[in-house]
Amino acid sequence: MSEGKLLVSTQTSSFPTQPRNWYRCGRTSSKVLVCFVLVLFAATVFWFWSEPAKRGESDVSRPRQSVGEGFVSSQACLECHPDQHASWHASYHRTMTQLASNESIMGPFAGEQVEVEGVKARFTREGEKYFAELVLPDRDEEKKPVVMTTGSHHMQVCWTPTGWQRELEMVPFAYLKEDNRWVPRRATFLQPPGTDPSQMERGRWNRACIRCHTTHGVPGIDYLQMHTHVAEFGIACEACHGPGEAHIAYHRTQNDSKGDDPIVNPAKLTHQRSSEICGQCHLVSAMVDEPGFLKNGFPYRPGDDLSTARHIGHSEFGEGHFWSDGVVRTSGREFNGMCNSACYQKGELSCLSCHSMHQTKEDPRDAVQWADDQLTIEALANEACIQCHTRFEDTSQLIAHTHHPADSSGSHCYNCHMPHTSYGLLKASRDHQIDSPDVKNALRTGRPNACNLCHLDKSLGWTVDYLSDWYGIDPPPLAQSDKKVSATLKLLLTGDAGQRALAAWHMGWPPALEASGSGWQAPHLAMLLEDPYDAVRYIAKRSLNQLPGFESFSYDFLCDPTSRKEARKRAVGIWAGSARDLPEDPFSVLLDSDGELLREMQQNLLDSRSDQEVRLIE
């Protein structure tokens, strides 16, 4: 390791320049010798006292990046694998964790100011250096350097040193890419109003984020020390292929009897071992050995059995991450869902059945399109499922199964079997636990069923009838309102904040608008512009913008309650003044036969809204 070399150079530089014969006996030389011994002693004490990390890099205030333990970094792979390097370079995995630089920083840093409840930040820049000037309760006004970033696809979070060893804390504002603006970090999660906006999550990066956002991250936390280091910032080759040093040596050696190549190709592993590589990060779990992790990082390497390092978990490990039947409900935790699917348990489904971590040469999409979800070309369509469920290759079998025209979004397997019932990053995401529309379970768990997430204007009663007709599924008993009122509208008005967010998101989902019309959602979405949860207001506004007449409707989800009320009235006004198509049964969406809003009924539902606190921290 490079540290050995550094030790030598430290000693040489602290060694006084002396005549060549300094080591000969004599008065001057013995003084020098004593000096030398003292200096050596002091250097040794300092050496052991200081963390190994501090010796290697000029910036000792943030986590260190250094190779070792067999890790050699992506740079070492470029020479022999330029194509794989290029597709990885285009992926969001690479840019997950970056040092702050002109290339990595996304938010504006030209003196922009943001404020929430007295917590303020001003973002400034001096050449390649970035700063956040913070005003926080109980702290002096500070100008803090931004040294690292998290994220680049939907949002970006900035990190600043606490000043203690290599510990970081978070600037309590995040940059939202879609809106090109700074927002309080608390607003990027679905969590109850009143959550403290000044939280800087001191040390969380070093302990928690490092697990899933870097390659071989080591918190280095031991007694009073925090020597945090990573093999590579960002999620790079060796996170999925294992340490590469031995592989490179293998290919540089000309020797016929050199055994097996030690590198791991996930595509050549069993579906379990291969999926576990992704599962390292895309799951809810608890550490088998937390103190060991905090000190030395994970012992797990690609190809190993993940369960030796993690308790792959259910509710007990991640409160808020699961629906009541144990289906994961936050995004970024796809491994938990997929592992509970029959296709994985009885078949060989793996993440690689649908996703590809390197774009192939035949792929006509540009790298940016591919990088969004990193799906294989086949997995964009039903081929993802037909590769195993081959009977649906036959269009007549497909139609007989789905009861929708073959080219309808209602014949797309994902839409019934992997609906968007997970939540994260201010949007709904596909549930990776493959299951089927089931009203009984929806009533029991509160997790909406796929039919009603597309047929937004239909009641559970409608769905139950078709599920019974088409699939012979026994209809569960329903309350009167569930027979009459649109199921998704009911969730929008009466559900808990997590359900409201999902309902609101689907009210702007193009396939759902195609199936349900788009002329009736606005006066209901408008109500959510006054929702107590930041995330719900944000999603409601985004969905409103999908509706005709609302394309340029402006509203700031962070505005004060008076402005929210005005925005709500403005939206209802626009809707009332526009011509509109009514659904087949206007009553199901709380309109009368003239298309007028049944306000009292709407209010009654709103009054029964679930105010149970929901926290979905993905």
Please tell me the total number of residues recorded for the chain in this structure: 618
Contact pick of 374, 488, 518, 521 for ligand HEC (by CB under 6 A): 374
Looking only at residues 501 through 530 of this chain, which bind ligand HEC when binding is defined by CB under 6 A? 511, 514-515
The residue behind tokens 């809106």 is 179
- In the bound state with ligand HEC, the residue whose beta carbon lies nearer, of 181 and 404, is 404
Q: Which two tokens stand for residue 430?
A: 């596909």
Closest CB 550 distance from ligand HEC, rounded Å: 21
Tokens found for residue 107: 């938010």
Q: Which CB, 106 or 547, lies closer to ligand HEC? A: 106
For residue 388, count other CB atoms closer than 10 A to its CB: 12
Q: Quote the least distance from Cβ 271 to ligand HEC, whole Å.
A: 7
Candidates 20, 27, 268, 361: give the one binding ligand HEC (CB under 6 A). 268
Residue 334 near residue 432, CB atoms below 8 Å: yes
Cβ atoms of residues 171 and 199 within 8 Å: no
| Residues within window 527-566 making contact with ligand HEC, judged by CB under 6 A | none
Residue 74: C-alpha distances to residues 81, 307, 423 (Å) = 10, 27, 32
| 471 scored as a contact of ligand HEC (CB under 6 A) | yes
How many Cα atoms within 13 Å fall on the side-chain side of residue 282?
Answer: 22
- Residue in 151, 297, 498, 519 binding ligand HEC, rule: CB under 6 A: 151
Rule CB under 6 A: which of 413-452 touch ligand HEC? 413-418, 424-425, 429-430, 432, 434, 436-437, 450-451
State the minimum distance, in angstroms, from the CB of residue 372 to ligand HEC. 5
CB 111 within 8 A of CB 121: no
Among 5, 20, 27, 252, binds ligand HEC (CB under 6 A): 252
Footprint (CB under 6 A) of ligand HEC, residues 274-313: 275, 277-278, 280-282
- Which one of residues 66, 98, 149, 152 is an interface residue with ligand HEC (CB under 6 A)? 152
- C-beta of 55 vs 153, nearer to ligand HEC: 153
Find, among 441, 423, 422, 436, the residue nearest to 385 by Cα.
436
The span of 100-108, 133-141, 210-218, 311-319 binding ligand HEC (CB under 6 A) equals 210-218
For residue 131, the minimal CB distance to ligand HEC (Å) is 20
Q: Which of 527, 526, 520, 529 is nearest to 591 (CA)?
A: 520
Which listed range, 20-28, 116-124, 147-155, 558-566, lies at the site for ligand HEC (CB under 6 A)? 147-155
Per-residue contact flags (x/-) with ligand HEC for residues 158 to 177, judged by CB under 6 A: --------------------
Nearest residue by C-beta to ligand HEC?
A: 244
- Residue ranges in 24-63 that form contacts with ligand HEC under rule CB under 6 A: none
Is the torsion defined by CA of 411, 332, 377, 393 positive or negative?
Answer: negative
Separation CA 146–CA 142 (nearest Å): 12
x/- site string to ligand HEC, residues 75 to 94, per CB under 6 A? -xx-xxx--xx--x---xx-
Is 326 a binding residue for ligand HEC by CB under 6 A? The answer is: no
Output 543 or 602, the one with its CB closest to ligand HEC.
543
Q: How far is the CB of 438 from ligand HEC (least distance, A)?
A: 7
CA 614 – CA 446 distance, rounded (Å): 13
* Alpha carbon distance 601, 121 (integer Å): 43
Question: Binding of ligand HEC at residue 20 (CB under 6 A)?
Answer: no
Asked whether 158 and 62 are in contact (CB, 8 A), the reply is: no
| Torsion, Cα of 448, 450, 453, 457 (10° steps) | -100
Q: Which of 120, 153, 314, 609 binds ligand HEC (CB under 6 A)?
A: 153
CB-CB contact of 516 with 439 (8 Å): no
> Which residues are CB-contacts of 501 (< 8 A; sequence separation ≥ 6)?
190, 423, 428, 533, 535, 536, 539, 616
Site of tokens 């300092």:
46
**In whole angstroms, how close is the CB of 528 to ligand HEC at the nearest point?**
21
Q: How far apart are CA 274 and CA 264, in angstroms?
A: 10
611 binds ligand HEC (CB under 6 A): no
Q: How far apart are CA 143 and CA 124, in angstroms?
A: 9
Q: Which residues of 394-404 are buried (b: 16+ CB within 10 A; e: fewer)?
A: eeeebeebbeb
**Both structure tokens of 276:** 């576990």
Dihedral (C-alpha) 577, 583, 589, 595: value to the nearest 10 degrees?
40
Cβ proximity to ligand HEC, 3 vs 373, nearer residue: 373
Interface with ligand HEC in residues 182-201 (CB under 6 A): 201
Binding region for ligand HEC (CB under 6 A) out of 3-11, 145-153, 477-485, 487-495: 145-153
List 352, 439, 491, 591, residue binding ligand HEC (CB under 6 A): 352
- Of 570 and 615, nearer to ligand HEC (C-beta) is 615
Q: Smallest gap, in angstroms, from Cβ of residue 374 to ligand HEC?
A: 4
Longest dimension (CA), the chain: 112
353 part of the interface to ligand HEC, by CB under 6 A: yes
142 vs 348 by CB, closer to ligand HEC: 348
Going 172 to 175 to 178 to 179, the CA torsion angle's sign is positive
Which of 61, 409, 604, 610 contacts ligand HEC by CB under 6 A?
Answer: 409
Q: State how far the alpha carbon of 202 is from the alpha carbons of 139, 198, 206, 208, 501, in Å.
A: 14, 11, 9, 11, 29
Q: Least Å distance between CB 360 and ligand HEC?
A: 7
Interface residue with ligand HEC among 343, 493, 528, 567 (CB under 6 A) is: 343
Please pick, from the candidates 117, 348, 366, 581, the single residue that binds ligand HEC as defined by CB under 6 A: 348
Residues binding ligand HEC: number (CB under 6 A): 119
Q: At closest approach, how far in Å is the CB of 50 from ligand HEC?
A: 27
CA 591-597-600 angle, 5° bins: 105
347 in Cβ contact with 339 (< 8 Å): no
Under rule CB under 6 A, residue 241 binds ligand HEC:
yes
Q: What is the smallest separation between the CB atom of 447 and ligand HEC, expressed in angstroms?
A: 15
Q: Which of 119/357 has CB closer to ligand HEC?
A: 357
Residue among 145, 167, 164, 53 nearest 101 (CA): 145
Q: Which is nearer to ligand HEC, 450 or 614 (CB)?
A: 450
Query: Does 222 sit near ligand HEC (CB under 6 A)?
Result: no
Task: Give the residue, chosen from 55, 181, 202, 401, that forms a contact with ligand HEC under the rule CB under 6 A.
Answer: 401
Beta carbon nearer to ligand HEC, 352 or 487? 352
Dist CA 340 CA 329 (whole Å): 13
Q: Does 202 bind ligand HEC (CB under 6 A)?
A: no
State how far the Cα of 374 lies from the Cα of 360, in Å rounded to an integer: 11
